[in-house]
Amino acid sequence: MVASKRLVVSCFLLVLLLAEANAQGLKVGFYSKTCPHAEGIVRKVVFAAMKKAPTLGAPLLRMFFHDCFVRGCDGSVLLDSSNNQAEKNAVPNLSLRGFGIIDDSKAALEKVCPGIVSCSDILALIARDAMVALEGPSWEVETGRRDGRVSNINEVNLPSPFDNIAKLITDFRTKGLNEKDLVILSGGHTIGMGHCPLMTNRLYNFTGRGDSDPSLDSEYAANLRKKCKPTDTTTALEMDPGSFKTFDVSYFKLVAKRRGLFQSDAALLDNSKTRAYVLQQARGSTFFHDFGVSMVKMGRIGVLTGRTGEIRKMCRVPN
């Protein structure tokens, strides 16, 4: 039993070391010589799209998160499947939007620098530029990723809006992210929408006895019940009511008041470290900086660099 535990720990450490070694192949300005206008080209596409549809910001940010947490940041979430068995066909990914922005960015880059810029790097750049377009944080994006060739619906096992704090911390730690990263990246819920089905049990049948989640502010719960009836499967809810189009700290202020939309938001108050970070962010002015730091860390998860992977010609299909 002890030997098997040691083997598991050794394998986990080996995975982390390999991931760190690959991440060392990333750097800011990776394309400065091979495609010096790469970031500007992507930014132009993103800003034009966001001007027409600013609500794409949240799905694009979530797309990068969902990519990195499955097989690492290798662009596997972008791949299509002829039999609907790719990552994008998994239930948590069905609400992702903005794939056309990745396609447009890739097409623009291929005209100038064919075969140079990876789709995984394009997605990383787009996640940053979409936040800038919303007057949110900016950060230096490390590039140099290469694209994966595999995308499997059965490998999609993402942190869930129903998770408790122990599960969330474990999921993030396996990706090399700590409690602070968990809180900061959860702050991405300051923009975007959720939907009633994700709230039904929390509002109407939390423990199977027709009750609501006691961790949810009662006044907020009453307002949500007015919007979400038990059988409602379509109504959209602002994840950061009154500020869902603006990247700001109001999300943390709401969570501190027990008004986080999802169970995973409320769970951030159930651990001393994560609770302290929530309260700190609600009071302070470091969110933009901290968000950039955590995004860079997340962008290093399981990357392919050097000669591993490939540079796709089209982001929806491997070469």
Binding residues: 67, 70, 72, 74, 76, 87, 159, 189-190, 240, 248
Annotated binding site for substrate: 159
CA–CA gap between residue 293 and residue 50 (Å, rounded) = 23
Q: Can you state the percent helix, strand and coil of the chain, rounding each to 5?
A: 55, 5, 40
Q: Could you tell me if 101 and 164 are in contact, meaning their C-beta atoms sit under 8 angstroms apart?
A: no
Nearest to 191 by CA among 132, 233, 142: 132
Distances (CA, A) of 247 to 131, 136, 221, 252, 278: 8, 5, 24, 11, 16
Is residue 66 among the annotated active site residues? yes
d(CA 240, CA 249): 10
Catalytic residue among 37, 66, 195, 289: 66
Length of the chain: 319
End-to-end CA distance of the chain, in Å?
A: 44
Q: Which residues are annotated as a binding site for Ca(2+)?
A: 67, 70, 72, 74, 76, 87, 190, 240, 248
Point out the residues that are catalytic: 66
